[in-house]
Amino acid sequence: MAADEFLADPAELAVKLGRSEDDPKLLYALRAASRRFRGQVGHQVTLVTDDEETLDGNGRESVLLPVWPVTAVSAVVLSGTTLLEGTDYEWSEAGILRRLGCLHWPDRLRCLRVVYSHGWDGLDEVPGDIQEVVLERAEAGVNIPVGVQSQTVGGQSVTFGAQAATGSTEAWVKAVEKYKVRTSGDA
């Protein structure tokens, strides 16, 4: 199993569910919840090194890189010219790429090529709100039969809300919104 396959700790889910941390159903549910979160935010979440993006200029001093946290910027090329960090541009962990020297990025499409590294390096660095919603979704995946919203056994009846069955809880929606890939319109 790849170290960054899961966005939450299988041992934590195992304790919560009273199962073994190598239980195949538990691991499947956690893997599925991690894939679902990654798919909805549009990026890996865990560390990606030397990711290359072509960006549009916006006519402003700063552009936002699509994914944060940014851990390194190894190249910025503007219309074929390589820029120098500290002289031509600076960057922040929040994914802000700022032009220096009172200059602005040109207002042109696809004029900027950036090679940068982003994401959290290891499970212990993944933000707690991501881990929490992935654990909740995985728990629902183990406990709630697919497609079932209510179940009756003898005289007992249990109804699962549509949110629990689909995984679209308020916490999930907020986490996806917070960590999704940013577009140039987000600046």
In this structure, the number of other CB atoms found within 10 A of the CB of residue 149 comes to: 14
Per-residue burial over 60-76, b = 16 or more CB atoms within 10 Å of its CB, e = otherwise: eebbbbbbbbbeebeeb
pLDDT for the residue 2? 57
Show me where the domains of the chain are located: 10-44+124-182, 48-118
pLDDT for the residue 1? 47
pLDDT for the residue 101? 94
Q: What is the pTM of this model?
A: 0.84
pLDDT for the residue 87? 97
pLDDT for the residue 115? 98
Helices (DSSP H) in 19-157: which residue ranges? 24-41, 128-143
Ordered per-residue pLDDT tens for the chain, 187 residues: 455 799 999 999 999 999 999 999 999 999 999 999 999 999 999 999 999 999 999 999 999 999 999 999 999 999 999 999 999 999 999 999 999 999 999 999 999 999 999 999 988 899 999 999 999 999 999 987 655 566 677 777 666 554 455 557 999 999 999 999 987 655 5
- Rounded CA-CA distance 70/90 in Å is 12
pLDDT for the residue 184? 61
